[in-house]
Amino acid sequence: MNKYLIITVIGADRPGLVELLARTLVAHNANWLESRMANLAGRFAGMVEADVPEANFEPLVEALEKLQADGLKVMVDGGLAEPAEDSFREAQLELVGQDRVGIVQEISSALARHGVSIEKLHTQSESASMSGETLFRARAELRVPNDLDMEALQQSLELLADELMVDIDLQRQTVG
Amino acid sequence: MSQSNASLREPQIHSAFVGRHIGPREVDKREMLGILGLSSMEELIDRVVPGSILENEPLALDASCTEQEALQALRRLAHMNKVFKSFIGMGYYGTFTPPVILRNVLESPAWYTAYTPYQPEISQGRLEAILNFQTMVSDLTGLDIANSSLLDEGTAAAEAMALCRRMSKSKSNTFFVSEICHPQTIEVIRTRALPMGYRVVVGDHRRELDGLELFGVLLQYPGSDGEIHDYAEVVSTAHEKSALVAVAADLLSLALLKPPGEFGADIAIGSTQRFGVPMGFGGPHAAYMATRESFKRSLPGRIVGVSIDSRGDPAYRLAMQTREQHIRREKATSNICTAQVLLAVMASMYAVYHGPDGLRNIARRVHRLTTVLAEGLRQLGFEVMTRHFFDTLLINTGERTGQLHEAARVRGMNLREVDGKRIGISLDETTTIEDVTALWSVFGGGDLNPTAMAASAGDRIPAGLARSSRFLTHKVFNSHQSETAMLRYLRMLADRDLALDRAMIPLGSCTMKLNATAEMIPVTWPGFCDIHPFAPAEQTQGYSELISELERMLCAVTGYAAVSLQPNAGSQGEFAGLLAINGYHQSRGEGHRNICLIPSSAHGTNPASAQMAGMKVVVVNCDSSGNIDIADLTAKAQKHSLDLAAIMITYPSTHGVFEESVREVCRIVHDHGGQVYIDGANLNALVGVCYPGRFGGDVSHLNLHKTFSIPHGGGGPGVGPIGVCEHLQPFLPGNPLATAADGAVGPVSAAPWGSAGILPISYAYIKMMGRDGLLEATRSAILNANYIAHRLREHYPVLYTGPNGMVAHECIVDLRPLKESSGITVEDVAKRLIDYGFHAPTMSFPVAGTLMIEPTESESKAELDRFCEAMICIRQEIRAVETGTLDAEDNPLRNAPHTIAELTDEEWQHCYSRAQAVYPVAALRAGKYWSPVGRIDNVYGDRNLVCSCPALSEYADELA
């Protein structure tokens, strides 16, 4: 039986960080499933989903925590069960609007109110073509309850700002 | 030639205009070439333009002529047009442009040379004017929110159809159009519906709605035939079917009629032409659209909103740009780029000048005369078929129809040719009682007594549809009724803005060149202004010669076989060009081809146009030098070989570079059955040097408002003609008064030649420049851009260059590294340039975090140097932030632009001096543009959307 875990790492960016992490996983026969990595303001930040044979779980966690010595802060959320099929469907969300403090929090709380969870979220702020105003762009993969009124979700998001443009595309396939 | 002979005649007189149009003197050019290490203009072009496309044949155009000769030629053409009194109607009416508006808006470079107000701080004057426009439209139509503005009534109706589709909950794909809509509107709708897959049903709204499932309805109010219908029932029937209702309403009639918003319409659209904008043989005029607040995200076109500046004072900005194509590309709400701002300003000022009472009086007088005319015709034994009307009558003329038209023309009058048995007559504010008497005499009643007729003529507006609500109640519409007040208001607004009459506007991809006075003068001559677009052809010989001559000139410049001048904006040209491609594929049984390749660097209008033309956008990558990635292109062309419709490229590229591989790009696409669309936005780098029609293009649109000197007008008018190779010629846009034959393309604009009224500008430009002048303009534009790139290179990285290290006619400077090192953004630099007296270059297009600079040929070396010095001083200021000499937050860049209000504060709030804030270079002390507001708060505007004139109380706060 395998155990699932989410590993969050952060540290000053330098070559070899991903390799270090990968080596640690391989050494414990853990399987690197999916990951998101980014360099933000000179810091390397990443999230890795992995599974590991139950017997290796504790040693892996210990080994990961020791990476602190190499300048990598690691947090492990372990002991997760395999994600179950459920009554959710996947949707793509795209947003563009004026950037402002708290916009991510406002969006995520609107989503949470409708029972929507965020699978992936990519945000950026950019200088708008022509006017140069600072725009916020987000692209997210959502898990949406099957019975959710999508129009109500759209309206809740649009209420956040007059200039926020919201596109939600429902996909037919289930999360896999 | 001896001195004495030379002084009697050319060449100096004949090339005089070229020297006026082009900024740098010969001595400057030599110096600039020397700095670039070049010995001649020819060498410059050889270094910049790939040999594979460079041509050395001179343009097939005449030599340059003088300003006087060009004016004389245009005067002859204007005289060939016969100015008849127009009673044709159909959405185009006689109007008096108040002289104070004619001279101080239409003929004022402060208004006509301005750019689109993307930089709101230096655009407060025109932003206020177009906010007035929005308020005027929303008041008169009785709807919550209005845009500013659309291209013409036909395309506005098509945009209304698209809005209905987006907002209606109906699953149907049917759009119903009332048969009493203007015929040209119906045809434009058909053209636009076809690629979107909408079914258009044209019929009688009273009978043919039942049993139909539909997503929208378009009605005309009053009808094209003049009849005023009560649409309340139709609206509720449509709403029961989940369809939305758009009403094409005559704005002047709404001074007397119940507005569409009050009988439940969801959308109102129409033309504002009769608010003081000349007919101009079809345009340019501003169309309007108003709708419900809840539909604001789907409202096409620009919207001005009220926000606050850095000091909390009210200030205007363009709101909701997140809907538009430059942000949303193919997902954009619409593709309105160049609109008709100058004409919207004129229409709004007409309302400001006349005020609500003045408008009501004009409307009443027009209506009164129409009732008197109708009564006389009735007494003469003619059946007036219109029961309820505002200004238009439909008369049953039976067998006598042709004879009556003849009689009218003998008297210098045009009536509407409805069909072989009926005549239409529309009156307007220019109609006098003498005109009514003259109309009676056409119908055989020259001796009718107007006073007697008036006595028995009653009001013909249905009681239930008379307007009871007030409009234009805002102070701005009630304070400028004297000419002195109006003159000062216009001057005050103009003084707030920075247009080409003050400084260089170095906007990349926008080509803000000289709009010469000699080019502008003919635009307001009656022979060009006062011609109805559907006037009989024998009266418009001057226009037809002008148009065919201009088409020939543009063919010569582009290397294409044919040109259509109908598209009245660049975006319309793109749409028309893609329709031509669709038509061509269909004619070969390959109508399924629908993939449009678009490089990632393309302007947002390209994908938005492709979407409108029913194509699917596939993005082609660019390589690290900014060129189209040939490997990626090849792969995608191969993958979509069976479905490839077209590629849309811009040349020189939006990165400002002549791509070496352009012929290869065209070949690859052709090999896979696609057509090549070359966006002509950058044609200013090509004229006389190479020809899109010869190096691989099948179709291009040109922007006459960029390359051929039509002014930008603060965001329009524009003209976006398309040139096509011979095989696409059968698929040019059709006549708006005829239903397109099977396989042919319908009209894209309401008028046959779009914005015909401003074509004299480009005609004069080409004639006065001549074949050698145009080539010299291209060379000088390229020289100016390379000079700027050279001077700025050691201070800012220049992002893309050709293989010789040269740019085309524009250059991109990269500010992203500076943001990393100092936190100073491209926006900070743009706003700081205002303190130095400049309009910023294009921001964050095509690459976010950069500035794109296009000086054009018209800027002198002195002005280029002034600009470069400003940019270099700004770099030094950034360095001071980098080194900590200036505070990272409280510095002149972050706080720019600086206003007089801030300067005169009791306590100066910043840790740098007042002089450094406002006089960073000494020359500014001799003359300076002062920004009327501080930096505008976009987030506040977003959170507090106000799109009409702020309430009086807020004005009071502002004054306090």
- Say how far residue B525 (Cα) sits from the centre of its chain: 21
Cβ contacts (< 8 Å) between A139 and chain B: which residues? none
| B531 token code pair | 């011609």
Disruptive mutation site among A101, A126, A129, A157 for chain B (greatest number of B CBs within 10 Å) = A129
Reduced to 3 states (helix: H, G, I; strand: E, B; else coil), residue B890 is coil
Residue of A nearest to B604 (CA): A129
Q: Which of B842, B844, B943 sits opposite A161 (nearest CB)?
A: B943
Q: Is the peptide bond before B599 cis (omega within 30 degrees of 0)?
A: no
CB–CB of A132 and B830 under 8 A?
A: yes
Q: To which residue do tokens 């009629």 refer?
A: B257
Spell out the residues 6+ positions from residue B473 whose beta carbon is closer than 8 angstroms to its own.
B139, B356
* pLDDT band at residue B337 using 50, 70 and 90 as cut-offs: confident
Q: How many Cα atoms sit within 13 Å of B392 on the Cβ side?
A: 28
pLDDT at residue A77 in the model: 86
The CA distance from B306 to B318, in Å, is: 9
pLDDT at residue B329 in the model: 82
| B178 token code pair | 């009332």
CB–CB of B327 and A97 under 8 A?
A: no
* pLDDT band at residue B470 using 50, 70 and 90 as cut-offs: very high
Closest CA to B498 of B174, B126, B805, B767: B126
Length of chain A: 176
pLDDT at residue A82 in the model: 64
Closest CA to B351 of B88, B105, B86: B105
Check residue B685 and report its DSSP letter: G
Beta carbons of B901 and B121 less than 8 angstroms apart? no
- Cα four-point dihedral sign B425, B429, B433, B438: negative
Mean pLDDT score of chain B: 95
The amino acid at B240: E
Q: Which of B297, B319, B844 sits opposite A127 (nearest CB)?
A: B844
Other beta carbons less than 10 A from residue A110's beta carbon: 17
**Domain residue limits, chain A:** 2-80, 89-174
Average pLDDT of the segment spanning B182-194: 98
Beta carbons of B643 and B595 less than 8 angstroms apart? yes
Reduced to 3 states (helix: H, G, I; strand: E, B; else coil), residue B414 is strand
Closest CA to B232 of B392, B462, B471: B462
Cβ contacts (< 8 Å) between A98 and chain B: which residues? 322, 938-939, 942
pLDDT at residue A174 in the model: 38
Which stretches does DSSP call E strand in B75-210?
A: 85-87, 145-146, 174-178, 199-203
Cβ contacts (< 8 Å) between A126 and chain B: which residues? 844, 848-849
Cβ-based contacts under 8 A for chains A and B = 89
The CA distance from B344 to B837, in Å, is: 27
CB–CB of B318 and A128 under 8 A?
A: no
Reduced to 3 states (helix: H, G, I; strand: E, B; else coil), residue B159 is helix
The CA distance from B74 to B622, in Å, is: 45
Determine the distance in angstroms separating the CA of B305 from the nearest CA of chain A, rounded to an integer: 11
Res B946 pLDDT > 50: yes
Residue of A nearest to B850 (CA): A127
pLDDT at residue B117 in the model: 95
* pLDDT band at residue A102 using 50, 70 and 90 as cut-offs: confident
pLDDT at residue A176 in the model: 30
Beta carbons of B177 and B238 less than 8 angstroms apart? no
- The whole-model pTM stands at 0.93
DSSP result, B202-235: EE-TTTSSTT---SEEEEEES-TTSBPP--HHHH
Q: Which of A97, A100, A127 sits opposite B826 (nearest CB)?
A: A127
Closest CA to B575 of B91, B186, B196: B196
DSSP result, A90-151: EEEEEEEEE--TTHHHHHHHHHHHTT-EEEEEEEEEEEPTBT--EEEEEEEEEEEETT--HH
Average pLDDT of the segment spanning B491-510: 96
Question: Thinking of the domain A2-80, which architecture would CATH place it in?
Answer: 2-Layer Sandwich (3.30)
Closest CA to B704 of B763, B746, B637: B763
pLDDT at residue B741 in the model: 86
Q: Is the peptide bond before B24 cis (omega within 30 degrees of 0)?
A: no
Q: How many Cα atoms sit within 13 Å of B105 on the Cβ side?
A: 30
The CA distance from B947 to B133, in Å, is: 10
The answer to whether A11 faces chain B, any CB pair under 8 Å, is no
Average pLDDT of the segment spanning A7-14: 87
Q: Which of B328, B843, B943 sits opposite A131 (nearest CB)?
A: B843
pLDDT at residue B4 in the model: 53
Determine the distance in angstroms separating the CA of B616 from the nearest CA of chain A, rounded to an integer: 17
Domains A2-80 and A89-174 share a fold: yes
Check residue B103 and report its DSSP letter: I
Closest CA to A63 of A20, A19, A32: A20
Q: How many Cα atoms sit within 13 Å of B865 on the Cβ side?
A: 9
pLDDT, tens only, A57-97: 889 989 998 888 888 888 888 766 665 556 788 899 999 99
Beta-strand relationship, B244-249 and B216-221: parallel
Q: Cα Rg for chain B, rounded, in angstroms?
A: 28
pLDDT cut 70: percent of chain A above it: 92
Check residue B258 and report its DSSP letter: P
E strand or H helix at B917 = helix B914-918
The CA distance from A7 to A164, in Å, is: 33
pLDDT, tens only, B590-624: 999 999 999 998 998 999 999 999 999 999 999 98
Res B479 pLDDT > 80: yes
pLDDT, tens only, B248-297: 999 999 999 999 999 999 999 999 999 999 999 999 999 999 999 999 99
Average pLDDT of the segment spanning B883-897: 97
Res B956 pLDDT > 50: no
Residue B954, phi then psi, degrees to nearest 5: -70, -35
Average pLDDT of the segment spanning B288-316: 95
The CA distance from A92 to B746, in Å, is: 37
Determine the distance in angstroms separating the CA of B533 from the nearest CA of chain A, rounded to an integer: 35
Res B310 pLDDT > 60: yes
Q: Which of B297, B318, B939 sits opposite A165 (nearest CB)?
A: B297
Question: Thinking of the domain A89-174, which architecture would CATH place it in?
Answer: 2-Layer Sandwich (3.30)
ipTM of the complex: 0.83
The answer to whether A169 faces chain B, any CB pair under 8 Å, is no
Beta carbons of A96 and A139 less than 8 angstroms apart? no
The answer to whether B242 faces chain A, any CB pair under 8 Å, is no
The CA distance from B411 to B377, in Å, is: 17
Spell out the residues 6+ positions from residue B648 whose beta carbon is closer than 8 angstroms to its own.
B574, B596, B597, B598, B602, B606, B609, B610, B677, B679
Average pLDDT of the segment spanning B815-828: 96
* pLDDT band at residue B5 using 50, 70 and 90 as cut-offs: low
Closest CA to B25 of B798, B784, B878: B784
* pLDDT band at residue A34 using 50, 70 and 90 as cut-offs: confident
The answer to whether B842 faces chain A, any CB pair under 8 Å, is yes
CB–CB of B327 and A96 under 8 A?
A: yes
Beta carbons of B150 and B301 less than 8 angstroms apart? yes
The CA distance from B760 to B528, in Å, is: 9
The amino acid at A96: V
Report the b/e string of B439-474 with b at 16+ CB within 10 A: bbebbebeebebeebbeebeebbeeebebeeebbeb
pLDDT, tens only, B124-147: 999 999 999 999 999 999 999 999
Q: How many Cα atoms sit within 13 Å of B573 on the Cβ side?
A: 30
pLDDT cut 70: percent of chain B above it: 98
Find residue B175's DSSP bridge partners: B200, B216
Interface of A with B in 117-136 (CB under 8 A): 126-135
